[in-house]
Copies of this chain bind each other. A is one copy, B any other.
Amino acid sequence: MAHSHDLPADLTRNQGLVLSALNHSEGPLSAYDILDKLRGDGLRAPLQVYRALDKLVERGLAHRLESLNAFVACADEHCHRKGLIAFAICEGCGKVDEFADGVIEERLGDWAGAKGFRVERTTMEIRGKCGACVGV
């Protein structure tokens, strides 16, 4: 777990603070969680956090988890994934596992093609219990 969390050099101050907060968290954080962690660094308003999150998500450095109204740092530390990303969220420990699956993506593409639907983005979130929490 002791990896470096190097931030891209061209982030603004607020973006860097927010990404750093996400990187150092064990699990997803809401925008208000992040704000609370960063009050000591001078952040005062939700919008400061939301604006930074918008940029980070846009660049693929962070992801929004729709079913939690929360955010995580991208788990792919350097080469941020393209295409469909799925998240497995453990209800027990709160950890999030990020993965990509080409087969699912292709399958979805087939459905969209057949329907004439133009996909812009896809949310895929699995809720349940991770191996550790299921107590196998």
Beta-carbon nearest neighbor of A133 in chain B: B118
Given known A104-B104, A111-B99, contact A127–B121 (CB-CB < 8 A):
yes
- In the assembled complex, how far is the CB of residue A16 from the closest CB belonging to chain B, in whole angstroms? 27
- In the assembled complex, how far is the CB of residue A77 from the closest CB belonging to chain B, in whole angstroms? 20
How many chain A residues have a CB neighbour from B under 8 Å?
A: 34
Which A residues, 112 to 129, have Cβ-Cβ distances below 8 Å to chain B? 112, 115-129
Number of copies: 2
B116 in contact with A136 (CB, 8 Å): yes
Residues in chain B near residue A54, CB distance under 8 A: none
Q: Is there a chain B Cβ closer than 8 Å to A2's Cβ?
A: no
Q: Which residues of A contact B (CB under 8 A)?
A: 66-67, 86, 88, 90-91, 97, 99, 101, 103-104, 107-108, 111-112, 115-131, 134, 136
5 example contacts (A-B, Cβ-Cβ < 8 A) are as follows A86-B111, A101-B111, A123-B126, A123-B127, A124-B125
